Amino acid sequence: MLEQKLYVGSHAPYGHNGSSITEKSYHIMLAALPAVIMGIYHYGVPALRVVAFSVSSAMIWEYLLNRVMRRPVSIGDGNAALIGLLLGMLLPATTPWYAVIAGTFVAMVVGKHMFGGIGCNPLNPALVAVAILILSWGELMDFDDALRDVELGFAMTYPLTVMKYFGPEKASEYGIWKMFLGQQSGAVGAAFGLGLVLGGVYLMFRGFIRWEISVSFLAGLFLTAFFFQLGDPSKYGGPLFHLVTGYTLIGAFFLATEDSSSPVNTIPMVIYGLGCGALTVLIRNVGFFVDGAVFAILLMNIANPLLDKIRPRSLGKGVEHA
C-alpha cells in the first residue's frame, strides 16, 4: 500500500501572501513582548517562571509528539513557542508548575495535534487550554484567590469581579487610564492594555493579522456594553471599562485572529469579530463567568466554518446552453 501524505488540512479558499509560519510566529511573539515585560515587571520572578515554563513545556510536547507520530521536528517554526507564550500570558503569575504542564499538554495535544496539526485546528489551542484549566482548577484561575498575597502599588482585586458583584460605582475607583497602563490585577500578559494595542497595531500594519477581526471585536464589545449600560447604568459598566479590563485586548489582537480558527472572507470576519465582542459582554454581565472572552472566542471558533460559507457572489451571468 502506497504511503499518502496529507498536504492540505483546511477548507478553501486558499491563498498565499508570501509570509511563512516561522516569520509570522516570531513577529507575533515580538508584538506580545511589551505586555509580557510589563507583567514580569509587576509580578517579578513568578511571572517570568510561568511564561518561561509555558513556552518551554509547549516546545517539549511538540517535540515529543513529532517523534511519536514520526513527523519532522517542527519546533523551529515557532508555532509551539507562540502557543506556549500566549498561554503563559493568560495565566496568573502564581500558577503552579503542574497546571502549566497540564495546560500546555491540552493546548498541544487536544488543541492542535488531535485535529491534524498546524492549520487544521478548529479552535485556538491556547484558549482550549485556558478553558480546561478554568473548568478543572477554577481556584487557580480565580485572580482574586491566586493573587491574594501579592502586594503591588494598586488594588489587587480583579476589576471584573468588582464590577460583577459590586457594580460600576465601586469599579469606577480603578480609573480607565490607569488600567489601560497596566495598573490592574490579572493575567501576566493581559493587563497592560497600551502594550497590547501597540502590538496589535504593529501586526495589522505588517499584515500578520486582519484588522477586520480586531476592529469588529472591539466594536461588538463596545456596542453591547453601551446598550447594557443604557438599560441599567447602576448595574452594568460602560464600554471603556470593558475595553481595558480582563482578556479583551489580548483577545482582540492575539487570540481571535488565529488563522486556523478564524474566517478568511471579509464579511465573515466582521460577523465573527462582532460575535466575539458581543458574547464577551453577555457572559460578563449575565453569565456565570467573570470574564467571558475565553468562551466567547471559542464559541465563535465553532461557528467559523459556517460563517465562512458567506462569500461574495460571482461576477457576470451564466450562459444558457441549448
Any idea which residue has 510589563 for its cell? 38
**Calpha distance 112→2 (Å, rounded):** 27
pLDDT for 47-97, tens place per residue? 999 999 999 999 999 999 999 988 888 888 899 999 999 999 999 999 999
For the cut 60, the answer to whether the pLDDT of residue 13 exceeds it is no
Length of the chain: 322
Final residue before a domain boundary, out of 136, 169, 203: 136
Radius of gyration of the chain (CA): 20
Domain co-membership, 296 together with 192:
yes
Nearest Cα to 58, choosing from 20, 88, 31, 28?
88
**Calpha distance 163→160 (Å, rounded):** 5
Q: Is residue 234 part of a domain?
A: yes
For the cut 80, the answer to whether the pLDDT of residue 6 exceeds it is no
Q: Average pLDDT for residues 180-207, to the nearest whole number? A: 95
**Calpha distance 47→40 (Å, rounded):** 5
Q: Average pLDDT for residues 186-194, to the nearest whole number? A: 95
Q: What confidence tier does 117 reach under pLDDT thresholds 50, 70, 90?
A: confident
The grid cell for 159 is 476589576
For the cut 70, the answer to whether the pLDDT of residue 258 exceeds it is yes
pLDDT for 268-307, tens place per residue? 999 999 999 999 999 999 989 999 999 999 999 999 999 9
What is residue 118's predicted lDDT score, i.e. its pLDDT? 86
CA angle 197, 245, 293 (to 5 degrees): 90
Final residue before a domain boundary, out of 74, 101, 136: 136
Instruction: Determine how many CB atoms are found less than 10 A away from the CB of residue 208.
Output: 18
CA angle 129, 10, 113 (to 5 degrees): 35
**Considering the entire predicted model, what is its pTM?**
0.89
pLDDT for 18-30, tens place per residue? 458 899 999 999 9
Q: Average pLDDT for residues 122-144, to the nearest whole number? A: 94
What is residue 173's predicted lDDT score, i.e. its pLDDT? 87
Query: Is there a contact between 207 and 17 (Cβ–Cβ < 8 Å)?
Result: yes
Nearest Cα to 112, choosing from 101, 128, 89?
128
For the cut 70, the answer to whether the pLDDT of residue 8 exceeds it is no
For the cut 50, the answer to whether the pLDDT of residue 35 exceeds it is yes
From residue 224, give the alpha-carbon distance in Å to each of 75, 81, 263, 268: 40, 34, 22, 19
For the cut 50, the answer to whether the pLDDT of residue 2 exceeds it is no
Give the rounded distance of the alpha carbon of 168 from its chain centre: 25
Domain residue limits at 213: 156-307
What is residue 1's predicted lDDT score, i.e. its pLDDT? 42
Query: Is there a contact between 74 and 80 (Cβ–Cβ < 8 Å)?
Result: yes
C-alpha atoms less than 13 angstroms from C-alpha of 136 in its C-beta half-sphere:
12
Q: Is residue 44 part of a domain?
A: yes
Domain co-membership, 201 together with 287:
yes
Q: Is residue 108 part of a domain?
A: yes
Domain co-membership, 39 together with 96:
yes
More confident residue, 223 or 73: 223
Q: What are the φ and ψ backbone dihedral angles of 115, each rounded to 5 degrees?
A: -100, 5
